[in-house]
Amino acid sequence: MKFSEPNRGRRRAGPWLVVVIAVALALIVLPAAAVLALNVATHLTRQLNMVVSGSAQPATMAPVLSLNDISRWQGSERVNILLMGIDQRPDEDSESTRTDTLILLSVDPQSGNAGMMSIPRDLYVPLPNRGQDRINTAHVYGGPRLAMQAVEYNFGIPVHHFARVNFNALVKLVDLVGGIDIYVHQDINDQAFPDDRYGYDPFVMSAGWHRMDGATALKYARTRHGSSDFERMRRQQQVIMALRDAVLNTDAVTKVLPNAPQILTTLQDSIRTDLSPLEVAQLAMLAKDIPQDRIARVVIDETSVQAWTTPQGGSVLIPIRDRLRELREKLYNPPPPEPVDTVNATPEAGRVAVHNGTQTKGLAAAAKAWLEGQGFTVVEVGNAVGDYPRTVIIDYKGRPAYTARLAAALGLPVSVVVTQPDAAQPLDALVILGEDFQVPSAIAPAP
């Protein structure tokens, strides 16, 4: 059979905190592999200045944080932070806008676990002292505090802090690191993508790998046309993954945290948080050493809600409470990692296809032989349509542990995995080999 490819007191943050928060949040969710080099300060400062202020001259000076202080997070209890992205137009008050994005971030210093849970904006739930409504309206009625209370009330998870970001912060950070690499699993043609003047700014992108600047990454994370809000949340997590990779590749983290105050004054309206700058930096340093397999990535998706139309005609999502409890447990307690280096370990059962997206003959067959030697079941090899500069793994069944093990077996980072649920697809995963792939053994492609 031939398988087809996918066609919580309020305090305004210091003006320099935007990139610090963004980098810290990325680290909270997705850890650094090691403490990064300290010899990049001069280069990084120049790059930040050029991106943020459009100038090579130093911005208004601000205190530099001590690395010794940054390295010590004082708490021992789990910390939960509600990250809110607001859809704010130039003429709108940030205090009365709906949240376009809701992601609950969690870090446990004791167990060494961390995670993120994406919450649909159309989730129809009881809001404290407001009655039933979409969860994204909580910010309109009561700002960050009510949004935090709504999440805490409906999920049984204490929310300790918040960070509210407008979309300008994401654009600046992606541009700062020089762009991010994203695999787009299907063509996008969103002619109704909104601009910031209540008009339209069409967004068109073909399937495949793309190098995205900040503006493009923002559109990719926000577009809904032709797909569900669940897909949009998966794309947002995909952007976080790619941003993490880019931050690590620039060797920037340990110098961004102390030195960002000097160069980010122009972004003072992009973020608000009840975390102090020092707390943010300390959280980032705490989270960077959490191994990736102890990071839970949870989406309240199609399996966790039921569609419903309100008496007023609104399309909303009713939560399935038992399923939400399961997702909360997954956020707090990620499953233990499967062994990836033990030669005799047998992975969970699954069906994999391998397609060659390069001009190297025999590459798919060699990858098949290697995977079968690692205990995977490869049911097909073939050629991909078109050339792929980078390898991608499509997860059709929502099996992150399985596909993470598959990626590790191929010597690839987990960021190459793209989740694309398809109940009718007989495959568990499809591997499309790109020019970056090298068979991790003595097996070589046939000439």
Per the listing, tokens 């809600």 go with 305
Q: 164: which strand partners?
A: 84, 272
**Model confidence pLDDT, tens digit, residues 136-183:** 999 999 999 999 999 999 999 999 999 888 777 778 778 877 888 888
Distance separating alpha carbons of residues 409 and 370, to the nearest angstrom: 9
Distance separating alpha carbons of residues 226 and 240, to the nearest angstrom: 22
Mean local confidence (pLDDT), 80-100: 73
pLDDT at 315: 93
pLDDT at 414: 78
Statement: residue 339 has pLDDT above 60? no
pLDDT at 406: 93
pLDDT at 222: 85
Mean local confidence (pLDDT), 326-330: 90
Mean local confidence (pLDDT), 33-46: 33
DSSP string for residues in 369-384: HHHHHTT-EEEEEEE-
Per the listing, tokens 């073939």 go with 382
pLDDT at 265: 45
Distance separating alpha carbons of residues 16 and 64, to the nearest angstrom: 11
Q: 123: which strand partners?
A: 317
- Going from the N-terminus, what domains does the chain have, and what CATH number goes with each? 17-332 (3.40.630.190), 351-433 (3.30.70.2390)
Cβ–Cβ < 8 Å for 187, 206: yes
Report the DSSP pairing between strands 79-86 and 99-108: antiparallel
Q: Return the sign of the alpha-carbon dihedral for residues 388, 393, 396, 398.
A: negative
**Model confidence pLDDT, tens digit, residues 242-292:** 877 776 665 555 545 554 444 344 455 677 888 877 787 778 777 766 766
**Which two tokens mark 333?**
């307690």
Cβ–Cβ < 8 Å for 297, 105: no
**Model confidence pLDDT, tens digit, residues 342-393:** 344 566 789 999 999 999 999 999 999 999 999 999 999 999 988 899 999 9
The 3 state secondary structure assigned to 81-144 is: EEEEEECCCCCCCHHHCCEEEEEEEEEECCCCEEEEEECCCCEEEEECCCEEEEHHHHHHHHHH
Collapse the DSSP code of 232 into the 3-class scheme (helix H, G, I; strand E, B; otherwise coil) and give the result: helix
pLDDT at 63: 55
DSSP 8-class letter at 210: E
Distance separating alpha carbons of residues 284 and 70, to the nearest angstrom: 9
Statement: residue 80 has pLDDT above 90? yes
pLDDT at 307: 94
Report how far apart, in Å, the C-alpha atoms of 384 and of each of 141, 349, 353, 364, 426 are: 50, 24, 11, 10, 18
Mean local confidence (pLDDT), 426-430: 95
Of the candidate ranges 60-69, 157-166, 296-305, the one whose mean pLDDT is the lowest = 60-69
Residues 6+ apart with CB under 8 A from 23: 173, 247, 252, 253, 256, 257, 284
| Widest CA span in the chain | 70
pLDDT at 11: 41
Statement: residue 215 has pLDDT above 80? yes
Q: Which of 299, 296, 297, 298 is nearest to 120 (CA)?
A: 299
Q: Identify the H or E element spanning 244.
A: helix 229-249
